[in-house]
Each structure stands twice: as C-alpha cells, then as structure tokens.
C-alpha cells in the first residue's frame, strides 16, 4: 500500500499541496482527479521522491522511500520518455541495460498487443502511440506500483480504448496503479478508487462500486457535487 499522510508543499509562498492524505492499495487502480490547477503531478512526483516537500509522510508498504522501496515503483510521465532519434528496439535495449528487472518477454507481448513494431522511431510516433510506449515501458519493469501521469489525456479514442484494455487484461497483473486524470469519461469502469483534488487539497476519497451501491451515484455525479459546491 502507498500511504500519503498530510503532504504539504509550497512553491515559494504559494501552497501547492495542503495536508494531502490518501492511500492506494496494491491490486487496485486509484485515480487522482483534479479538474484544474496543480497538485496531481506534484503528488506523484513527491511519492517518487522527485520533488521535495515541506511536511508530511509517504510510506510504501509501511516503509519510507528508500533505495529498496524505490525499486518497487515506476513513474510514467505524460511525455515521451525516450530520445526521439531512438527506435523502439533501441529503447528496449537501453531499458534492459538500465533496469535489472526489465522483462523482455512482457515488452514483446505488449508491443504485439499494441500492434507496434520495433523498427518504429520515437520521433515518428503519434501522441497515442507515445502513451502506449510509455505504458509498455512501465509495465515491462517488474515493480509492484505504477504511477501514471495522465495516461488517457489528449490522445485519440482508439488509443484510449487500447490503453484501457491493458488495464482490464492480465498485463496489469496485481500491481497497484495510481493514475491522474482530469476527465473520467469512459474510464469509470476501470477504476477502483477515486481521490478528488482541488487547489492542492483532497475533497473526497471513495470506492466507485461502494458509491454506486450505497448512493446510486456515478463518479461524475460526485464530481458535480464536489466541484460545483
């Protein structure tokens, strides 16, 4: 489990995160939603130790971020990770050298799943295909937790569907996944848990199926209530 407790961060005098607390379980997909402003990406970066924060605690399987716990997590940003001149094959070779836990068979499987070819150059990939390659890179490293920044944003509908298909397939295994998004349309059925952020604070944290069972509300219904209040 990833536990974020009272995370507070400032950029100069501006408060970016204020007392942010939530948990994300292994084997579940947790979705950080924020319709505007900063907070989502900063939270992911703080979990990865990529940005300093003023106060708060972040625990991964009950441990603070250390060299060992760092190996349990990958972060997938929303831009191309690899240099544009590389082919996908080059990128795989690079990853293999860089990560001891790189799983070549998994990488090949995902490449076939996405119907992409090794000889494609990163520079030539569409935004949708970049998103697929990023997801592939993240899943081909054997880790317990996957943090993904906006995997569904700004890409064509078919790429969205293909990426969504990965989330419902065996390829995701029982990883704990945290994704950020500002739109929830057509991924409501994929996610276990929702954290609604606004202006750096958590407004609500809930399980989607519980919300449907107990209150008959969709994620969008709850977003309407919370953000329009």
Of the candidate residues 71, 142, 188, 205, the single one contacting other proteins (CB under 8 A): 188
Among the listed residues 90, 108, 192, 198, the single contact to other proteins using CB under 8 A: 192
Let me know: does 60 contact 53? Beta carbons within 8 Å. Answer: no
If the CB atoms of residues 165 and 225 are measured against other proteins, the closer one turns out to be: 165
Map tokens 């947790």 to a residue.
30
Closer residue to other proteins in complex, CB, 63/225: 225
Tell me if 5 contacts other proteins by CB under 8 A.
no
Q: Which is nearer to other proteins, 118 or 209 (CB)?
A: 209
Strand partners, 33: 181, 196
H/E element holding 131? helix 127-139
* Nearer to other proteins (CB atom), residue 201 or residue 218: 218
Rg over CA atoms, the chain = 18
**Quick one: CA torsion of 37, 153, 103, 192, rounded to 10 degrees?**
70
Instruction: From 92, 184, 180, select the one nearest 139 (Cα to Cα).
Output: 92
Q: How are strands ordered across the β-sheet holding 55-60?
A: 14-24, 2-11, 55-60, 63-64
What is the closest distance, in whole angstroms, from the C-beta atom of residue 209 to other proteins in the complex?
5
CB nearer to other proteins: pick between 79 and 220: 220
Stretch that binds other proteins, among 22-30, 98-106, 118-126, 137-145 (CB under 8 A): 22-30
Token pair, residue 102, equals 């790189």
Nearest of 105, 108, 107, 160 to residue 131 by alpha carbon = 160
Distances in Å between the alpha carbon of 147 and those of 37, 41, 175, 228?
19, 10, 10, 28
What is the distance, to the nearest Å, from the Cα of residue 81 to the centroid of all Cα atoms in its chain?
A: 14
Candidates 14-22, 120-128, 149-157, 209-217: pick the segment binding other proteins (CB under 8 A).
209-217
Q: Is 145 in the site for other proteins (CB under 8 A)?
A: no
Stretch that binds other proteins, among 38-46, 52-60, 145-153, 165-173 (CB under 8 A): 165-173
**Residue closer to other proteins, measured from CB, 209 or 225:** 209
User: Should residue 112 be labelled a site residue for other proteins when binding is judged by CB under 8 A?
Assistant: no
Residues 25-84 touching other proteins, rule: CB under 8 A, are: 27-29
Give contact residues for other proteins (rule: CB under 8 A): 27-29, 164-165, 167-170, 172, 188-192, 209, 212-213, 216-221
């Amino acid at each position: 489990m990833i536990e974020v407790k009272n995370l507070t961060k400032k950029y100069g005098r501006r408060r970016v995160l204020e007392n942010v607390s939530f948990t994300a379980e292994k084997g579940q997909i947790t979705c950080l939603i924020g319709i505007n402003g900063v907070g989502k990406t900063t939270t992911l970066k703080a979990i990865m130790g990529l940005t300093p924060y003023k106060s708060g605690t972040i625990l991964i399987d009950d441990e603070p971020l250390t060299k060992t716990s760092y190996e349990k997590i990958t972060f997938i940003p929303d831009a191309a990770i690899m240099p544009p001149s590389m082919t996908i094959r080059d990128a795989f070779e690079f990853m293999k050298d860089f990560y001891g836990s790189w799983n070549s068979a998994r990488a090949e499987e995902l490449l076939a799943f996405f119907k992409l070819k090794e000889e494609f150059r990163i520079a030539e990939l569409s935004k949708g295909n970049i998103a697929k390659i990023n997801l592939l890179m993240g899943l081909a490293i054997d880790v317990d937790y996957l943090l993904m920044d906006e995997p569904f944003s700004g890409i064509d509908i078919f790429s969205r569907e293909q990426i969504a298909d990965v989330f419902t397939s065996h390829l995701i295994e029982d990883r704990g996944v945290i994704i950020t998004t500002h739109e929830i349309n057509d991924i409501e059925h994929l996610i276990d848990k929702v954290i609604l952020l606004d202006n750096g604070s958590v407004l609500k944290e809930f399980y989607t199926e519980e919300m449907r069972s107990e209150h008959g509300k969709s994620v969008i219904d709850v977003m309407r209530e919370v953000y329009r209040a």
